Amino acid sequence: MQKELQKVKIGLIGLGTVGSGVFKTLQNFDNIEISKIAVRDIKKHRNIQGLDLSLITDDPYEIVNSPDIDIVTEVIGGINPAFDLISTALKNGKHIVTANKELLAKHGKELFTLAQENNRVILYEAAIAGGIPLIMPIKTVLSGNRINKIEAILNGTTNYILTKMDLQNASYNDVLKEAQELGYAEADPTGDVEGYDAAYKITTLATIVFGKRVKLENVYREGITKIRSQDMKAANDLGYKIKLIASGKIDENGKADVRVHPMLVAKKSTLAHIDYVTNAVSLSGHPIGDITLSGPGAGEFPTASSVVGDILTLVSEIGKSDNILPMMHCKHTVDADVINISDTINKYYISISARNNIGVIGKIGTICADNHISLASIVQKCVSDDNTADITVITEPVKECDMQKAAELIKQDGNKINSLIRVQI
Protein backbone atom coordinates (compact mmCIF):
# COMPACT_ATOMS: atom_id res chain seq x y z
CA MET A 1 0.00 0.00 0.00
CA GLN A 2 1.40 3.39 -1.05
CA LYS A 3 2.26 5.71 1.83
CA GLU A 4 0.21 8.91 1.85
CA LEU A 5 2.25 11.98 0.92
CA GLN A 6 2.87 14.19 3.95
CA LYS A 7 2.24 17.77 2.94
CA VAL A 8 4.00 20.73 4.53
CA LYS A 9 1.45 23.38 5.44
CA ILE A 10 1.99 26.99 4.45
CA GLY A 11 0.35 30.15 5.73
CA LEU A 12 0.49 33.00 3.21
CA ILE A 13 0.22 36.58 4.50
CA GLY A 14 -0.55 38.84 1.54
CA LEU A 15 -2.21 38.15 -1.80
CA GLY A 16 -1.15 41.17 -3.81
CA THR A 17 1.16 41.04 -6.82
CA VAL A 18 3.82 38.86 -5.18
CA GLY A 19 1.40 36.83 -3.06
CA SER A 20 -0.65 35.97 -6.14
CA GLY A 21 2.48 34.80 -7.94
CA VAL A 22 3.44 32.65 -4.96
CA PHE A 23 -0.04 31.09 -4.79
CA LYS A 24 -0.09 30.33 -8.53
CA THR A 25 3.42 28.85 -8.49
CA LEU A 26 2.80 26.64 -5.46
CA GLN A 27 -0.11 24.94 -7.24
CA ASN A 28 2.51 22.92 -9.13
CA PHE A 29 3.83 21.14 -6.01
CA ASP A 30 2.01 18.14 -4.50
CA ASN A 31 3.97 18.15 -1.24
CA ILE A 32 2.81 21.63 -0.21
CA GLU A 33 -0.58 22.72 1.08
CA ILE A 34 -1.58 26.37 1.46
CA SER A 35 -3.70 26.15 4.60
CA LYS A 36 -4.65 29.77 5.07
CA ILE A 37 -4.23 33.11 3.26
CA ALA A 38 -4.47 36.45 5.07
CA VAL A 39 -5.56 39.56 3.15
CA ARG A 40 -6.41 43.13 4.07
CA ASP A 41 -9.77 43.25 2.23
CA ILE A 42 -11.62 39.95 2.38
CA LYS A 43 -14.36 41.23 0.02
CA LYS A 44 -12.00 42.16 -2.82
CA HIS A 45 -12.58 40.16 -6.00
CA ARG A 46 -9.51 38.12 -6.95
CA ASN A 47 -9.28 36.65 -10.40
CA ILE A 48 -6.97 33.79 -9.42
CA GLN A 49 -7.68 30.36 -10.88
CA GLY A 50 -7.93 27.60 -8.28
CA LEU A 51 -8.30 29.96 -5.32
CA ASP A 52 -10.42 28.40 -2.57
CA LEU A 53 -12.17 31.35 -0.91
CA SER A 54 -12.63 29.35 2.30
CA LEU A 55 -8.85 29.69 2.88
CA ILE A 56 -9.01 33.48 3.03
CA THR A 57 -9.08 35.44 6.28
CA ASP A 58 -8.61 39.06 7.21
CA ASP A 59 -6.95 38.05 10.50
CA PRO A 60 -3.27 37.18 9.91
CA TYR A 61 -2.97 36.04 13.53
CA GLU A 62 -5.02 32.99 12.54
CA ILE A 63 -1.96 31.98 10.53
CA VAL A 64 0.85 32.77 12.97
CA ASN A 65 -1.02 31.18 15.86
CA SER A 66 -2.18 28.08 14.01
CA PRO A 67 -0.62 24.87 15.43
CA ASP A 68 -0.93 23.17 12.03
CA ILE A 69 1.09 25.61 9.91
CA ASP A 70 4.80 24.86 9.43
CA ILE A 71 5.97 27.84 7.33
CA VAL A 72 4.69 31.42 7.41
CA THR A 73 5.28 33.35 4.18
CA GLU A 74 5.03 37.12 4.56
CA VAL A 75 4.70 39.28 1.43
CA ILE A 76 2.84 42.36 2.69
CA GLY A 77 5.90 44.57 3.26
CA GLY A 78 6.35 47.39 5.73
CA ILE A 79 6.98 47.26 9.48
CA ASN A 80 3.52 47.03 10.99
CA PRO A 81 2.00 44.54 11.37
CA ALA A 82 4.73 42.43 9.71
CA PHE A 83 7.19 42.70 12.61
CA ASP A 84 4.73 41.50 15.23
CA LEU A 85 3.34 38.79 12.95
CA ILE A 86 6.77 37.31 12.21
CA SER A 87 7.84 37.62 15.85
CA THR A 88 4.72 35.77 16.96
CA ALA A 89 5.20 33.10 14.31
CA LEU A 90 8.79 32.47 15.41
CA LYS A 91 7.75 32.18 19.05
CA ASN A 92 5.12 29.66 17.93
CA GLY A 93 7.74 27.53 16.18
CA LYS A 94 7.17 28.55 12.56
CA HIS A 95 9.85 28.94 9.92
CA ILE A 96 9.67 32.21 7.97
CA VAL A 97 9.94 33.16 4.31
CA THR A 98 9.78 36.89 3.66
CA ALA A 99 10.31 39.41 0.88
CA ASN A 100 10.32 42.35 3.30
CA LYS A 101 13.49 44.38 2.72
CA GLU A 102 12.46 47.29 4.98
CA LEU A 103 11.72 45.00 7.90
CA LEU A 104 15.03 43.17 7.60
CA ALA A 105 17.01 46.42 7.32
CA LYS A 106 15.35 47.99 10.35
CA HIS A 107 14.67 44.98 12.59
CA GLY A 108 16.80 42.15 11.24
CA LYS A 109 18.85 41.87 14.43
CA GLU A 110 15.78 41.33 16.63
CA LEU A 111 14.14 38.87 14.25
CA PHE A 112 17.22 36.76 13.60
CA THR A 113 17.95 36.66 17.34
CA LEU A 114 14.39 35.48 17.94
CA ALA A 115 14.77 32.84 15.23
CA GLN A 116 17.96 31.59 16.86
CA GLU A 117 16.31 31.41 20.29
CA ASN A 118 13.46 29.35 18.86
CA ASN A 119 15.66 27.21 16.57
CA ARG A 120 13.84 28.42 13.48
CA VAL A 121 15.02 29.75 10.12
CA ILE A 122 14.23 32.99 8.27
CA LEU A 123 14.79 32.87 4.51
CA TYR A 124 14.62 36.08 2.47
CA GLU A 125 15.97 35.53 -1.05
CA ALA A 126 13.29 37.79 -2.57
CA ALA A 127 14.07 40.73 -0.25
CA ILE A 128 17.29 41.86 -1.95
CA ALA A 129 17.14 41.47 -5.71
CA GLY A 130 13.75 40.02 -6.61
CA GLY A 131 14.20 37.00 -8.83
CA ILE A 132 18.01 36.98 -8.86
CA PRO A 133 19.46 34.03 -6.90
CA LEU A 134 21.80 35.83 -4.53
CA ILE A 135 21.58 35.08 -0.81
CA MET A 136 21.76 31.28 -1.05
CA PRO A 137 24.73 31.37 -3.47
CA ILE A 138 26.58 33.76 -1.15
CA LYS A 139 25.86 31.53 1.85
CA THR A 140 26.83 28.30 0.06
CA VAL A 141 28.91 28.10 -3.15
CA LEU A 142 30.54 31.51 -2.56
CA SER A 143 31.09 30.99 1.18
CA GLY A 144 34.78 30.24 0.64
CA ASN A 145 35.37 33.75 -0.69
CA ARG A 146 36.35 36.90 1.12
CA ILE A 147 34.15 39.40 -0.70
CA ASN A 148 35.30 42.96 -0.11
CA LYS A 149 33.26 44.98 -2.62
CA ILE A 150 29.64 45.18 -3.79
CA GLU A 151 28.32 47.42 -6.57
CA ALA A 152 24.68 46.89 -7.46
CA ILE A 153 21.60 48.19 -9.20
CA LEU A 154 18.86 47.16 -6.79
CA ASN A 155 15.86 49.27 -7.78
CA GLY A 156 14.07 48.72 -11.07
CA THR A 157 12.01 51.92 -10.93
CA THR A 158 15.00 54.24 -10.74
CA ASN A 159 16.91 52.22 -13.31
CA TYR A 160 13.95 52.46 -15.70
CA ILE A 161 13.75 56.25 -15.19
CA LEU A 162 17.49 56.77 -15.73
CA THR A 163 17.50 54.53 -18.81
CA LYS A 164 14.62 56.44 -20.40
CA MET A 165 16.23 59.80 -19.54
CA ASP A 166 19.40 58.59 -21.22
CA LEU A 167 17.77 57.24 -24.38
CA GLN A 168 15.14 59.96 -24.85
CA ASN A 169 17.15 62.96 -23.62
CA ALA A 170 14.10 63.58 -21.43
CA SER A 171 13.70 65.32 -18.08
CA TYR A 172 13.34 63.46 -14.81
CA ASN A 173 9.80 64.75 -14.26
CA ASP A 174 8.61 63.72 -17.72
CA VAL A 175 10.00 60.20 -17.41
CA LEU A 176 8.68 59.79 -13.86
CA LYS A 177 5.17 60.65 -15.08
CA GLU A 178 5.51 58.08 -17.88
CA ALA A 179 6.78 55.45 -15.43
CA GLN A 180 3.80 56.08 -13.15
CA GLU A 181 1.37 55.73 -16.05
CA LEU A 182 2.97 52.39 -17.00
CA GLY A 183 2.88 51.12 -13.42
CA TYR A 184 6.68 51.05 -12.99
CA ALA A 185 6.54 53.82 -10.38
CA GLU A 186 4.13 54.29 -7.48
CA ALA A 187 1.82 57.30 -7.18
CA ASP A 188 4.16 58.31 -4.34
CA PRO A 189 7.56 57.25 -5.71
CA THR A 190 9.60 58.55 -2.75
CA GLY A 191 10.71 55.13 -1.52
CA ASP A 192 12.29 54.38 -4.90
CA VAL A 193 13.51 57.71 -6.28
CA GLU A 194 15.01 58.93 -2.99
CA GLY A 195 16.97 55.70 -2.58
CA TYR A 196 15.21 54.23 0.47
CA ASP A 197 14.40 50.91 -1.23
CA ALA A 198 17.98 50.41 -2.40
CA ALA A 199 19.29 51.44 1.03
CA TYR A 200 17.20 48.76 2.75
CA LYS A 201 18.56 46.15 0.37
CA ILE A 202 22.24 47.10 0.54
CA THR A 203 22.03 47.22 4.35
CA THR A 204 21.09 43.54 4.51
CA LEU A 205 23.31 42.49 1.61
CA ALA A 206 26.40 44.17 3.07
CA THR A 207 25.67 42.58 6.46
CA ILE A 208 25.65 39.12 4.88
CA VAL A 209 28.66 39.64 2.64
CA PHE A 210 30.92 41.33 5.20
CA GLY A 211 29.89 39.18 8.16
CA LYS A 212 29.26 42.24 10.33
CA ARG A 213 25.92 43.87 11.02
CA VAL A 214 25.44 47.12 9.11
CA LYS A 215 23.00 49.56 10.68
CA LEU A 216 20.62 51.32 8.31
CA GLU A 217 21.24 54.71 9.95
CA ASN A 218 24.92 54.46 8.96
CA VAL A 219 24.15 53.95 5.26
CA TYR A 220 24.50 57.14 3.20
CA ARG A 221 21.51 57.67 0.90
CA GLU A 222 20.92 60.02 -2.02
CA GLY A 223 18.26 59.69 -4.71
CA ILE A 224 17.97 60.55 -8.41
CA THR A 225 15.59 63.53 -8.29
CA LYS A 226 18.33 66.07 -9.09
CA ILE A 227 19.69 64.24 -12.14
CA ARG A 228 19.22 66.31 -15.33
CA SER A 229 19.08 65.31 -18.99
CA GLN A 230 22.14 67.56 -19.45
CA ASP A 231 24.04 65.35 -16.99
CA MET A 232 23.08 62.27 -18.99
CA LYS A 233 24.48 63.81 -22.18
CA ALA A 234 27.64 65.03 -20.48
CA ALA A 235 28.22 61.60 -18.93
CA ASN A 236 27.86 59.92 -22.32
CA ASP A 237 30.32 62.37 -23.89
CA LEU A 238 32.80 61.53 -21.13
CA GLY A 239 32.41 57.74 -21.55
CA TYR A 240 29.97 57.07 -18.69
CA LYS A 241 26.36 56.19 -17.89
CA ILE A 242 24.55 57.47 -14.79
CA LYS A 243 23.06 54.77 -12.54
CA LEU A 244 21.73 54.64 -8.99
CA ILE A 245 24.36 52.44 -7.37
CA ALA A 246 24.09 50.66 -4.03
CA SER A 247 27.62 49.90 -2.94
CA GLY A 248 29.57 48.41 -0.08
CA LYS A 249 33.29 48.09 0.53
CA ILE A 250 35.28 46.82 3.48
CA ASP A 251 38.97 47.53 3.91
CA GLU A 252 41.75 45.46 5.45
CA ASN A 253 41.09 47.11 8.82
CA GLY A 254 37.44 46.03 8.79
CA LYS A 255 36.04 49.51 8.14
CA ALA A 256 32.97 49.47 5.90
CA ASP A 257 31.75 52.04 3.40
CA VAL A 258 28.07 51.40 2.58
CA ARG A 259 25.92 53.81 0.56
CA VAL A 260 23.37 54.50 -2.16
CA HIS A 261 23.70 57.39 -4.61
CA PRO A 262 23.81 58.23 -8.33
CA MET A 263 27.14 57.44 -9.94
CA LEU A 264 28.84 57.92 -13.28
CA VAL A 265 29.65 54.34 -14.26
CA ALA A 266 32.23 53.70 -17.00
CA LYS A 267 30.69 52.34 -20.21
CA LYS A 268 33.12 49.42 -20.09
CA SER A 269 31.54 48.37 -16.76
CA THR A 270 28.90 45.62 -16.76
CA LEU A 271 26.55 47.78 -14.67
CA ALA A 272 26.54 50.50 -17.33
CA HIS A 273 24.61 48.11 -19.60
CA ILE A 274 21.96 47.07 -17.07
CA ASP A 275 18.89 48.90 -18.36
CA TYR A 276 15.20 49.43 -17.66
CA VAL A 277 13.83 47.38 -14.71
CA THR A 278 16.66 44.84 -14.64
CA ASN A 279 18.71 44.52 -11.45
CA ALA A 280 22.32 43.41 -11.13
CA VAL A 281 24.80 42.72 -8.34
CA SER A 282 28.56 42.75 -8.89
CA LEU A 283 30.74 41.15 -6.22
CA SER A 284 34.53 41.31 -5.97
CA GLY A 285 36.65 39.10 -3.77
CA HIS A 286 39.12 36.27 -3.43
CA PRO A 287 39.39 33.74 -4.94
CA ILE A 288 36.41 34.39 -7.24
CA GLY A 289 37.63 37.73 -8.61
CA ASP A 290 34.68 39.60 -10.11
CA ILE A 291 31.22 38.13 -10.64
CA THR A 292 27.94 39.75 -11.69
CA LEU A 293 24.47 38.28 -11.24
CA SER A 294 21.64 40.00 -13.09
CA GLY A 295 17.96 39.47 -13.81
CA PRO A 296 14.48 40.75 -13.02
CA GLY A 297 14.50 42.57 -9.71
CA ALA A 298 10.74 42.74 -9.15
CA GLY A 299 7.39 41.63 -10.49
CA GLU A 300 4.86 38.91 -9.78
CA PHE A 301 6.66 35.80 -10.98
CA PRO A 302 10.34 36.82 -10.65
CA THR A 303 9.81 37.62 -6.96
CA ALA A 304 7.57 34.58 -6.52
CA SER A 305 10.40 32.47 -7.94
CA SER A 306 12.66 33.44 -5.04
CA VAL A 307 9.90 33.12 -2.43
CA VAL A 308 8.89 29.66 -3.64
CA GLY A 309 12.54 28.62 -3.85
CA ASP A 310 12.93 29.47 -0.17
CA ILE A 311 9.74 27.58 0.70
CA LEU A 312 10.92 24.48 -1.16
CA THR A 313 14.32 24.68 0.54
CA LEU A 314 12.59 24.57 3.93
CA VAL A 315 10.17 21.85 2.83
CA SER A 316 13.07 19.62 1.80
CA GLU A 317 14.63 19.90 5.27
CA ILE A 318 11.68 19.94 7.70
CA GLY A 319 11.54 16.74 9.74
CA LYS A 320 15.07 15.61 8.85
CA SER A 321 16.95 17.38 11.63
CA ASP A 322 16.44 19.38 14.79
CA ASN A 323 18.73 22.08 13.38
CA ILE A 324 17.85 22.67 9.75
CA LEU A 325 19.80 24.82 7.29
CA PRO A 326 22.53 25.89 9.75
CA MET A 327 24.33 27.82 6.98
CA MET A 328 21.34 30.19 6.80
CA HIS A 329 21.38 31.06 10.49
CA CYS A 330 22.50 34.57 11.41
CA LYS A 331 26.07 34.55 12.74
CA HIS A 332 26.70 38.29 13.06
CA THR A 333 27.95 39.05 16.53
CA VAL A 334 29.50 42.50 15.98
CA ASP A 335 28.39 45.72 14.30
CA ALA A 336 30.33 46.99 11.32
CA ASP A 337 32.44 50.12 11.78
CA VAL A 338 30.92 52.20 8.97
CA ILE A 339 32.84 55.16 7.60
CA ASN A 340 31.00 58.48 7.43
CA ILE A 341 30.48 59.69 3.86
CA SER A 342 32.52 62.85 4.59
CA ASP A 343 35.60 60.70 5.17
CA THR A 344 35.31 58.65 1.98
CA ILE A 345 37.47 59.04 -1.13
CA ASN A 346 35.67 59.63 -4.45
CA LYS A 347 36.03 61.07 -7.92
CA TYR A 348 33.44 63.68 -8.89
CA TYR A 349 31.61 65.06 -11.91
CA ILE A 350 30.71 68.72 -11.41
CA SER A 351 28.51 70.81 -13.69
CA ILE A 352 28.95 74.54 -13.15
CA SER A 353 27.23 77.57 -14.68
CA ALA A 354 29.58 80.58 -14.45
CA ARG A 355 29.85 84.08 -15.85
CA ASN A 356 32.02 83.94 -18.96
CA ASN A 357 34.65 86.25 -17.51
CA ILE A 358 38.40 86.16 -17.95
CA GLY A 359 40.01 83.85 -15.41
CA VAL A 360 36.85 82.02 -14.28
CA ILE A 361 38.32 78.57 -14.98
CA GLY A 362 41.52 79.61 -13.25
CA LYS A 363 39.57 80.61 -10.15
CA ILE A 364 37.76 77.28 -10.07
CA GLY A 365 41.11 75.52 -10.44
CA THR A 366 42.60 77.57 -7.60
CA ILE A 367 39.70 76.79 -5.25
CA CYS A 368 40.13 73.08 -6.00
CA ALA A 369 43.90 73.20 -5.52
CA ASP A 370 43.52 75.04 -2.20
CA ASN A 371 41.27 72.17 -1.03
CA HIS A 372 43.62 69.36 -2.10
CA ILE A 373 41.60 68.54 -5.24
CA SER A 374 43.39 67.55 -8.43
CA LEU A 375 41.44 67.88 -11.67
CA ALA A 376 41.39 65.13 -14.30
CA SER A 377 39.63 67.40 -16.80
CA ILE A 378 37.88 70.77 -17.05
CA VAL A 379 35.89 71.70 -20.14
CA GLN A 380 34.00 74.88 -21.00
CA LYS A 381 31.13 74.56 -23.45
CA CYS A 382 28.53 76.86 -25.02
CA VAL A 383 28.12 80.41 -23.79
CA SER A 384 24.44 81.38 -23.50
CA ASP A 385 22.84 84.71 -24.40
CA ASP A 386 23.28 85.98 -20.85
CA ASN A 387 27.04 85.37 -21.08
CA THR A 388 26.88 82.25 -18.88
CA ALA A 389 29.27 79.40 -19.64
CA ASP A 390 28.72 75.71 -18.93
CA ILE A 391 31.78 74.18 -17.30
CA THR A 392 32.21 70.46 -16.69
CA VAL A 393 34.84 69.20 -14.24
CA ILE A 394 36.03 65.66 -13.49
CA THR A 395 38.26 65.34 -10.43
CA GLU A 396 40.86 62.83 -9.42
CA PRO A 397 40.06 60.83 -6.24
CA VAL A 398 39.63 63.25 -3.34
CA LYS A 399 38.14 63.29 0.14
CA GLU A 400 34.40 64.00 0.26
CA CYS A 401 34.70 66.73 2.90
CA ASP A 402 37.28 68.58 0.76
CA MET A 403 35.00 68.36 -2.28
CA GLN A 404 31.98 69.68 -0.39
CA LYS A 405 34.02 72.59 1.00
CA ALA A 406 35.30 73.47 -2.48
CA ALA A 407 31.77 73.30 -3.89
CA GLU A 408 30.57 75.86 -1.34
CA LEU A 409 33.45 78.19 -2.21
CA ILE A 410 32.75 77.86 -5.93
CA LYS A 411 29.13 78.89 -5.28
CA GLN A 412 30.21 81.83 -3.10
CA ASP A 413 32.25 83.11 -6.03
CA GLY A 414 29.00 83.78 -7.91
CA ASN A 415 28.76 80.47 -9.78
CA LYS A 416 25.97 77.92 -9.79
CA ILE A 417 26.67 74.22 -9.25
CA ASN A 418 24.04 72.38 -11.27
CA SER A 419 25.19 68.87 -10.37
CA LEU A 420 27.74 67.15 -8.15
CA ILE A 421 27.79 63.40 -8.84
CA ARG A 422 30.31 60.82 -7.72
CA VAL A 423 32.23 58.87 -10.36
CA GLN A 424 33.06 55.17 -10.28
CA ILE A 425 36.68 54.53 -9.37
- Residue of 320 and 419 predicted with greater confidence: 419
Percent residues over pLDDT 90 in the chain: 86
SS3 category, 286: strand
Tell me the per-residue pLDDT of 257-279, one tens digit each, with 9 for 90 and over: 999 999 999 999 999 999 999 99
Tell me the per-residue pLDDT of 138-150, one tens digit each, with 9 for 90 and over: 999 999 999 999 9
Tell me the per-residue pLDDT of 90-104, one tens digit each, with 9 for 90 and over: 999 999 999 999 999
Q: Return the domain boundaries, the chain.
A: 8-130+300-328, 135-296, 341-423
Alpha-carbon gap, residue 146 to 367, rounded angstroms: 41
Catalytic residue among 201, 212, 241, 243: 201
CATH superfamily of 135-296: Dihydrodipicolinate Reductase; domain 2 (3.30.360.10)
Q: Is 201 a catalytic residue?
A: yes
Tell me the per-residue pLDDT of 207-220, one tens digit each, with 9 for 90 and over: 999 999 999 999 99
Alpha-carbon gap, residue 412 to 86, rounded angstroms: 53
- Residue of 385 and 234 predicted with greater confidence: 234
Average pLDDT, the chain: 94
Mean predicted confidence (pLDDT) in 57-61: 97
CATH architecture of the domain with range 341-423: 2-Layer Sandwich (3.30)
Alpha-carbon gap, residue 90 to 333, rounded angstroms: 20
**Per-residue pLDDT at 386:** 75
**Per-residue pLDDT at 365:** 93
Q: What is the 3-state secondary structure (H, E, C) of 50-75?
A: CCCHHHEECCCHHHHCCCCCCEEEEC
Residue 135 has pLDDT above 50, yes or no: yes
Q: Where are the beta strands (DSSP E) in 85-177?
A: 95-98, 122-123, 146-153
Residue 420 has pLDDT above 80, yes or no: yes
341-423 shares the fold of 8-130+300-328: no
Pick the CATH number of 8-130+300-328 from 2.40.50.140, 3.40.50.720, 3.90.1150.10, 2.130.10.10: 3.40.50.720
Contact 378/351 with Cβ under 8 angstroms?
Answer: no
